[in-house]
């Protein structure tokens, strides 16, 4: 009989701690190796070249490393994902999986070549090339808000609190500080080499839980007998409008800075495209494992705390040694995303928001990462550790305000001006905020703010585009 609540440390044997520590040490060695390569390959007398290597690895990111770092970067909010699966079942696989797979394929087929050939360094840099300097600056502000790693700071704090106890704020500060240090020292190279180790550990960890769940309790029939029918509904009991709202949030991948940075760093667009296709296959596998694992947790410990249920369940079904490996996998999943987001956010400050004369200064980049880390801890505390609220709030604003303008820039080049861009983005902010704050009844109650914000940018941009084509026709 499994328990709804356990003392995590009492379930970890000496063998578990040995395994956990060994994996942690291997990860540190990979970071040190990345730092060593950075010092060996970079010309310390050329700040411009140093910055290019620090941010993009000199555009030498090969296929295996591209896949490992892209996959590892994507799952830092594992407590949030498994919480949704525990509460809603396969609704999680649809909203946090299928919608995203569709978006990845769209990006790989229609956008990756344009992105890689843009010669940009960051997403706001590319938007500046598409529209103009004002658009670059406005998008940099939104980009920064989107990549401040609040969710992953919370996740890491929760993880450390479970192991060591103490206050959540103190654990968030401790964990984020450690990640900050190696992100600063090794640049993108250290992030990628640590992702390589974390990729293997996180994939293996969720697979172990999936295998032991089936061998211990049985397959689909067990879940059907012990879970409510809503757990097998694609809507999870939610209105269809909520389901589709997550689809719009998933489309934000088309403007996700981590995706863009990996594509900018790839040796060529073919590596990036192939890497995204392979990564998508791995993501499908990962999401099946995490969703099923959380559903097994709901079936066996239904009254567990939802955001910790998957972890509580896994530690009770895994044997000695594998518990330590699984814990290392959870930590790897969180850290591999936290370091990437800290790095991207620091880059946004140093490269896109500071004056050009400070852009090539490595010290600017270091200060950017440190300031983002501090701000992330403050915001994580403000949101009181609620991962789902953070995802929904920031995802809605980022998607509603930037997605449509950037897509117009990709598919209708030179049709939208710099001034057009900075005109429509505030409309998205106003519309989204209004819909969040004003109460709605009846049919309108189920209309998510992301729809309203997206329409607020789509309608004027469509009119601008029609006017542009009409004007050209009559010339």
pTM for this predicted structure: 0.83
Residue 186 lies inside a defined structural domain of this protein: yes
The answer for 447, left when phi > 0, alpha when psi is -120 to 50, beta otherwise, is: beta
Which tens digits make up the pLDDT trace of 157-167? 888 888 888 88
Residue 368 lies inside a defined structural domain of this protein: yes
Q: What value does the mean pLDDT take over residues 381-395? A: 66
Q: What is the pLDDT of residue 45?
A: 58
pLDDT over 60 (residue 86): yes
Under a CB-based contact definition with an 8 Å cutoff, are residues 56 and 266 in contact? no
% pLDDT > 70, the chain: 90
In angstroms, what is the C-alpha Rg of the chain? 22
Under a CB-based contact definition with an 8 Å cutoff, are residues 115 and 126 in contact? yes
Which tens digits make up the pLDDT trace of 275-305? 999 999 999 999 999 999 999 999 999 999 9
How many residues belong to the chain?
475
Q: Is 386 helix (H, G, I), strand (E, B) or coil?
A: coil
Q: Which residue has the higher pLDDT, 157 or 447?
A: 157
Q: What is the pLDDT of residue 227?
A: 94
Highest mean pLDDT among 32-41, 52-61, 80-89, 360-369: 80-89
| Spatial separation of the C-alpha atoms in residues 333 and 337, rounded to whole Å | 7
Highest mean pLDDT among 21-30, 329-338, 415-424, 436-445: 415-424
Q: What is the pLDDT of residue 387?
A: 59
pLDDT over 70 (residue 77): no
Residue 426 lies inside a defined structural domain of this protein: no
Q: What value does the mean pLDDT take over residues 234-258? A: 81
Could you please report the per-residue DSSP string of 406-431? HHHHHHSTTSS-HHHHHHHHHHHHHH
Which tens digits make up the pLDDT trace of 25-55? 888 788 777 767 666 665 555 556 666 666 7
% pLDDT > 90, the chain: 32
Q: What is the pLDDT of residue 307?
A: 83
Identify the band that residue 221 occupies on the pLDDT scale cut at 50, 70 and 90. very high
Residue 471 lies inside a defined structural domain of this protein: no
Residue 367 structural domain: 8-385
By the 10 Å C-beta count (0-12 exposed, 13-18 middle, 19+ buried), 285 is classed as middle
Identify the band that residue 93 occupies on the pLDDT scale cut at 50, 70 and 90. very high
Under a CB-based contact definition with an 8 Å cutoff, are residues 449 and 396 in contact? yes
- Average pLDDT over all residues of the chain: 85
Q: What is the pLDDT of residue 38?
A: 65
The single-letter DSSP state of residue 227 is S
| Spatial separation of the C-alpha atoms in residues 306 and 79, rounded to whole Å | 9
Dig out the tokens for 1 from the structure.
């009989």
Q: Could you tell me the CATH number of the domain that includes residue 265?
A: 1.20.1730.10
Q: Say which residue the tokens 């040490």 belong to.
A: 25
Highest mean pLDDT among 3-12, 45-54, 155-164, 316-325: 316-325
Residue 48 lies inside a defined structural domain of this protein: yes
Cα torsion at 167, 31, 275, 51 (round to 10°)? 100
Total domains in the fold of the chain: 1
Phi, psi of 266 (to 5 degrees): -65, 155
**H-type alpha helices, 218-320:** 220-226, 240-250, 257-265, 269-300, 309-317
Q: What is the pLDDT of residue 468?
A: 77
| Spatial separation of the C-alpha atoms in residues 149 and 377, rounded to whole Å | 9
């Amino acid at each position: 009989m499994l328990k709804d609540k356990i003392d995590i440390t009492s379930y970890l044997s000496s063998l578990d701690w040995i395994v956990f520590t060994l994996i942690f040490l291997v990860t540190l060695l990979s970071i040190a190796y990345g730092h060593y390569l950075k010092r060996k390959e970079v010309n310390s007398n050329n700040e411009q070249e140093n910055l290019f290597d620090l941010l993009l690895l000199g555009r030498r990111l090969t296929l295996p490393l591209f896949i490992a770092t892209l996959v590892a970067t994507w799952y830092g909010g594992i407590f949030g994902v498994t919480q949704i699966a525990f509460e809603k079942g396969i609704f999680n696989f649809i909203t946090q999986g299928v919608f995203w797979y569709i978006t990845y394929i769209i990006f790989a087929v229609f956008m990756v070549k344009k992105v890689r050939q843009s010669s940009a360094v960051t997403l706001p840099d590319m938007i500046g090339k598409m529209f103009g300097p004002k658009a670059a600056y406005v998008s940099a502000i939104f980009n920064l808000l989107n990549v401040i790693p609040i969710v992953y700071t919370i996740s890491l704090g929760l993880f450390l609190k479970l192991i060591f106890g103490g206050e959540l704020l103190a654990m968030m500060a401790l964990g984020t500080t450690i990640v900050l240090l190696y992100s600063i020292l090794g640049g993108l190279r250290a992030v990628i080499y640590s992702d390589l180790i974390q990729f293997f550990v996180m994939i293996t960890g969720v697979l172990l839980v999936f295998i032991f769940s089936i061998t211990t309790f049985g397959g689909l029939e067990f879940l059907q007998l012990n879970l409510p029918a809503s757990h097998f509904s694609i809507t999870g009991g939610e209105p269809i409008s909520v389901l589709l709202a997550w689809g719009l949030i998933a489309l934000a991948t088309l403007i996700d800075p981590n995706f863009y940075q990996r594509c900018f760093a790839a040796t060529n667009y073919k590596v990036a495209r192939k890497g995204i296709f392979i990564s998508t296959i791995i993501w499908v596998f990962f999401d099946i494992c995490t969703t099923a694992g959380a559903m097994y947790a709901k079936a066996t410990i239904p009254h567990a705390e939802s955001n910790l249920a998957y972890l509580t369940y896994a530690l009770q079904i895994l044997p000695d040694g594998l518990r330590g490996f699984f814990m290392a996998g959870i930590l790897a999943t969180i850290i591999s995303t936290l370091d990437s987001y800290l790095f991207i956010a620091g880059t946004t400050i140093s490269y896109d928001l500071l004056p050009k004369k400070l852009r090539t200064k490595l010290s600017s980049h270091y200060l950017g990462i440190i300031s983002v880390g501090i701000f992330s801890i403050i915001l994580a505390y403000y949101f009181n550790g609620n991962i789902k609220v953070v995802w929904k709030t920031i995802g809605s604003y980022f998607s509603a305000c930037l997605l449509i303008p950037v897509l117009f820039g990709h598919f209708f080049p030179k049709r939208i001006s710099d001034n057009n861009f900075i005109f429509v983005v505030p409309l998205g902010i106003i519309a989204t905020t209004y819909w969040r704050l004003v109460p709605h009844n009846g049919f309108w109650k189920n209309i998510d703010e992301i729809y309203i914000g997206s329409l607020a940018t789509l309608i004027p941009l469509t009119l601008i585009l029609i006017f542009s084509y009409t004007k050209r026709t009559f010339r």
